[in-house]
Amino acid sequence: MSQTNAIEARHTIKAFGQGDSAHRALDDVSITIRKGEFFTLLGPSGCGKTTLLRLIAGFEMPTAGDILIDGAEVTDLPPNKRPVNTVFQSYALFPHLTVAENVGFALKMLGRPKAEVAEVTARMLALVKLEHLAGRKTAQLSGGQQQRVALARALAPHPKVLLLDEPLSALDLKLRKEMQVELKRLQMETGITFVFVTHDQEEALTMSDRIGVMSAGKLQQVGSPREIYTRPVNRFVASFIGETNFLPAKPVAGGVKLGCGAVVEAEGEGHTLTVRPEQLRLVAANEPGAIAATVENLVYFGTDTHLNLRLSDGEALVARVQSPPTGDAGFAMGQAVGVTFLPGAARLIRD
């Protein structure tokens, strides 16, 4: 028997509004999230990722399609009947309750004995390292502490799936980095499936086991961070995650022909060649096999230097080279250079 999945959404459609003005926030999305994985829904605002999360939580009902949690159909169940809990973007902590009462809320609602509520609450507070604040009101806490209370509160009933709706967006950069590590640790320790929603590609790449990239209500690609970064399936994924060069290309014998006339090797199919800036090598202008280019501009970023190049047919290309100890990458504006791609770096995609 195959293992059941934590979440399964089948041909899910969510439309807001009526008739002609109806807007499909989710347009026929099917997705499978495995048990115990850290799954991230990544996309720009308005792409439907939060809507999908709210459908899983039960705050919205799908216009069409089914949602299964742990193999059981939950499409028509209200949120309080679903074995999932949510960490809200605004935390939504109960202001009239103490930290401990917030954390124990779900178990109390489930009618668990007092001793069990107290025991689990203490364990959860220890898990997020807030034992010393158990008696405080939530308004007296800092943003980072509120975040931890929200996490402990959602984890206390030991849900099958924990849903996190951009929980780190309100924190400053340093705290955000800390919480990223913290979240990953919590996920490992509890073994609970995490579904994390974010628009921050770096957050997605560093924390996730798998990422689902969304745009315009559709799921564009699902894969591990490495797959998503190295093998984007379309222009949206390639440009949304990291920086990428796009060049029109025509398949010919022995590779593809670029607009400037150069023939290079590339994997995949399609009429657009993609290559990451850090996968380019700059060589002498007259080196055989190299594509001729002119340096138009140099931008120093500390660890590396970005070079804006122009090919002979007018196409722009960005290269990223590591800065040497002197900081001077050794290029000047207007200089003629040769460009080569690292083996396997160039990929063709369909738009």
Partner 1 sequence: MSRAEDRQARASTRNGWLLSVPALLLLLFAASGPLVIVIVYSFLTPGQYGNVVWGFSPDGWIGVLFTRDIFDDTLGLADAHLTIFWRSVKLSLETTVLTFLAGFPTAWFIATRPPKARALWLFLITIPFWTNLLIRTFAINEVLRSEGLMNTVLMKLGLISAPIQVMYTDTAVLIGMAYVYLPLMVLPLFAAIDRFDMKLLEAGYDLYASRWQVLRHVILPIVKPGIVAGSILVFVPSLGAYVTPRVLGGGKNMMIGNFIELQFTQGRNWPLGAALSLLLLIVVMVALLVYVRAANKGSNPHG
Task: Tell me which residues touch partner 1 (CB under 8 A).
Answer: 57-59, 78-80, 84-86, 88, 90, 92-96, 105-106, 108-110, 153-154, 157
Tokens of 305: 């230097």
Least distance (Å) from partner 1 to the CB of residue 204?
23
Name which of 161 and 264 has its Cβ closer to partner 1: 161
Cα-based angle 337, 241, 176 (whole degrees, multiple of 5): 120
Name which of 108 and 177 has its Cβ closer to partner 1: 108
Least distance (Å) from partner 1 to the CB of residue 115?
19
Least distance (Å) from partner 1 to the CB of residue 88?
6
Closest CA to 255 of 347, 317, 351: 347
Q: Map residue 295 onto helix, strand or coil.
A: strand
Report the amino acid identity of residue 271: H
3-state DSSP helix/strand/coil percent for the chain, to nearest 5? 30, 35, 35
Name which of 122 and 298 has its Cβ closer to partner 1: 122
Name which of 96 and 174 has its Cβ closer to partner 1: 96
Least distance (Å) from partner 1 to the CB of residue 164?
12
Least distance (Å) from partner 1 to the CB of residue 89?
9
Helical H runs in 96-249?
Answer: 99-109, 114-127, 143-155, 173-190, 201-207, 225-230, 235-240
Distance of CA 195 to the CA centre of its chain: 10
Cα–Cα separations (whole angstroms), residue 109 to 37, 114, 121, 321? 28, 11, 14, 57
Name which of 25 and 84 has its Cβ closer to partner 1: 84
Name which of 110 and 336 has its Cβ closer to partner 1: 110
| Longest distance between any two alpha carbons in the chain, whole Å | 79
Name which of 67 and 346 has its Cβ closer to partner 1: 67
Report the amino acid identity of residue 258: L
Least distance (Å) from partner 1 to the CB of residue 150?
9
What CA–CA distance (Å, rounded) separates 157 from 84?
9
Closest CA to 232 of 143, 135, 333, 345: 345
Name which of 80 and 322 has its Cβ closer to partner 1: 80
Closest CA to 318 of 298, 345, 347: 298
Least distance (Å) from partner 1 to the CB of residue 85?
6
Contact 346, 264 (CB under 8 A): yes
Least distance (Å) from partner 1 to the CB of residue 96?
5
Closest CA to 270 of 289, 286, 293, 247: 247
Least distance (Å) from partner 1 to the CB of residue 118?
17
Name which of 21 and 322 has its Cβ closer to partner 1: 21
Contact 148, 155 (CB under 8 A): no
Report the amino acid identity of residue 280: L
